[in-house]
């Protein structure tokens, strides 16, 4: 593997992760054992991507027990609720925190809670690495011949605990000579595409262009895109999928141009408690992320903004959902 990097690891009593707000211009690592810093890092998108915030939150719970705690139950729920309220859309966060909660409740009387919780967090991390590997293998099914692919946001090592979801499918396909070229949507407003996916494509040696989000239609009309694949933040039982704002636009464009549109995500992204996507809570982000770039105003401060971080793609626009378990074809029914 050329120029590989570590996005996230547990090392010598600390969680160590790349500060994604600084990429790709600086590769700065944050090293912390403080759950409040971890919660802030999730809120500020220093760590991000649905599976990755789940893994990071699990480590945050464990690290909160590093020093002896007088009232473990009270402390657990203080930390749990802090992490639970960092971001509302990606269900992997709630999935991982719930797994830590069940584990804590089963071990509440132990006098070695830190090590037990740490092992559970490590198990969640390893589980995500394995899920990514299997998603990548299952995803190869969509490549019968070499393809030019378009993707949105970032779904690689910077978004998971392992190799990634949609990005890892692309990377594995490239290693098998099944990728001709990748177009990476820049992904306004936080530029996960032009900053993070471009960084990972460069590291993997995959040829690519960054495009503005509004360029996709032109490329599709010129028959330059063979397929689109993205990740997901939450998938309802009927297959409706919440992902980074702009994903729905791509799915509509694919439908018009008869281009297959795929989702790749671990099963921890599927929320079987929801029948359809209209029940998914969509995060709204601050106005500053739209009216400023690098802290500099680009429009008038008094202008109002509407900035949902995610949209929901209706299941009928999705040709397949790739999980670690299978390549799911419509009609989807994840109940």
The set of catalytic residues is 233
If the CB atoms of residues 179 and 250 are measured against ligand MRU, the closer one turns out to be 250
CB of 245 to ligand MRU, least distance (A): 8
> Cβ contacts of residue 222 below 8 Å, gap of 6+?
none
Is residue 311 within 8 A of residue 243, CB to CB? The reply is: yes
If the CB atoms of residues 265 and 291 are measured against ligand MRU, the closer one turns out to be 265
If the CB atoms of residues 104 and 199 are measured against ligand MRU, the closer one turns out to be 199
CB of 117 to ligand MRU, least distance (A): 24
If the CB atoms of residues 153 and 225 are measured against ligand MRU, the closer one turns out to be 153
Applying the rule CB under 6 A, the residues between 134 and 153 that interact with ligand MRU are 153
Select the residue interacting with ligand MRU from 238, 243, 268, 323 (CB under 6 A): 243
Applying the rule CB under 6 A, the residues between 38 and 67 that interact with ligand MRU are 45, 48-51
CB of 90 to ligand MRU, least distance (A): 6
DSSP string, 17-63: EE-TTTTTT---EEEE--HHHHHHHHHTTSS-SHHHHHHHHHHHHHH
x-marked contacts with ligand MRU along 285-314 as a string, rule CB under 6 A = ------------------------x-----
Select the residue interacting with ligand MRU from 226, 233, 240, 324 (CB under 6 A): 233
DSSP string, 192-260: IIIIIIHHHHHHHT--EEEE-GGGHHHHHHTT--SEEEE--SEEETT--EEEETTHHHHHHHHHHHT--
φ, ψ dihedrals at 99, nearest 5° = -65, -40
Applying the rule CB under 6 A, the residues between 179 and 208 that interact with ligand MRU are 192
CB of 247 to ligand MRU, least distance (A): 7
# residues near ligand MRU by CB under 6 A: 19
Calculate the CA dihedral of residues 124, 125, 129, 131 and round it to 10 degrees.
Answer: 20
Q: From CA 182, how far away is CA 278, in angstroms rounded?
A: 31
At 270, list the tokens.
């599927």
DSSP string, 130-181: HHHHHHHHHHGGG-SS-EEEEE-S--STTTSSSS-SHHHHHHHHHHTT-EEE
Select the residue interacting with ligand MRU from 15, 61, 83, 90 (CB under 6 A): 90
Select the residue interacting with ligand MRU from 165, 197, 237, 241 (CB under 6 A): 165
Q: From CA 335, how far away is CA 315, in angstroms rounded?
A: 15
Q: Which residue is nearest to ligand MRU (CB)?
A: 231
User: Is residue 244 a contact point for ligand MRU (CB under 6 A)?
Assistant: yes
At 67, list the tokens.
């020093």
User: Is residue 160 a contact point for ligand MRU (CB under 6 A)?
Assistant: yes
CB of 277 to ligand MRU, least distance (A): 14
Select the residue interacting with ligand MRU from 155, 157, 237, 241 (CB under 6 A): 155
Which residues are at the interface with ligand MRU (CB under 6 A)? 45, 48-51, 90, 153, 155, 159-160, 165, 192, 230-233, 243-244, 309
């Amino acid at each position: 593997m050329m120029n590989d990097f570590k996005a996230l690891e547990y090392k010598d009593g600390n969680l160590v992760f790349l500060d994604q707000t600084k990429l790709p211009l600086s590769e700065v690592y944050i090293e912390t054992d403080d759950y409040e810093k971890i919660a802030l890092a999730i809120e500020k998108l220093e760590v991000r991507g649905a599976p990755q915030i789940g893994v990071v939150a699990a480590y945050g719970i464990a690290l909160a027990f590093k020093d002896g705690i007088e009232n473990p139950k009270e402390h657990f729920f203080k930390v749990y609720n802090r992490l639970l309220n960092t971001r509302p859309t990606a269900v992997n966060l709630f999935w991982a925190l719930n797994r830590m909660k069940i584990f804590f409740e089963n071990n509440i009387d132990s006098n070695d809670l830190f090590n037990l919780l740490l092992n559970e967090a490590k198990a969640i991390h390893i589980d995500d690495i394995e899920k990514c590997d299997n998603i990548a293998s299952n995803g190869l099914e969509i490549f019968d011949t070499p393809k030019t692919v378009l993707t949105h946001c970032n779904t690689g090592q910077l978004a998971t605990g392992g190799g990634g979801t949609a990005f890892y499918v692309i990377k594995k396909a490239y290693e098998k000579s099944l990728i001709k070229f990748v177009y990476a949507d820049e992904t306004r407003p936080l530029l996960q595409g032009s900053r993070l996916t471009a960084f990972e494509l460069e590291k993997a040696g995959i040829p690519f262009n960054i495009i503005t989000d509004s360029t996709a239609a032109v490329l599709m009309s010129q028959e330059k895109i063979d397929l689109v694949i993205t990740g997901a933040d939450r998938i309802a039982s009927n297959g409706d999928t919440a992902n980074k704002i702009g994903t729905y636009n791509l799915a509509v464009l694919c439908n018009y141009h008869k281009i297959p549109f795929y989702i790749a995500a671990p099963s921890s992204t599927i929320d079987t408690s929801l029948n359809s996507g209209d029940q998914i809570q969509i995060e709204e982000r601050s106005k500053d992320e739209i009216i400023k770039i690098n802290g500099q105003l680009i429009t008038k401060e008094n202008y109002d903004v509407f900035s949902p971080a995610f949209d929901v793609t209706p299941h009928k626009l999705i040709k397949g959902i790739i999980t670690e378990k299978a390549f799911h074809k419509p009609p989807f029914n994840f109940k």
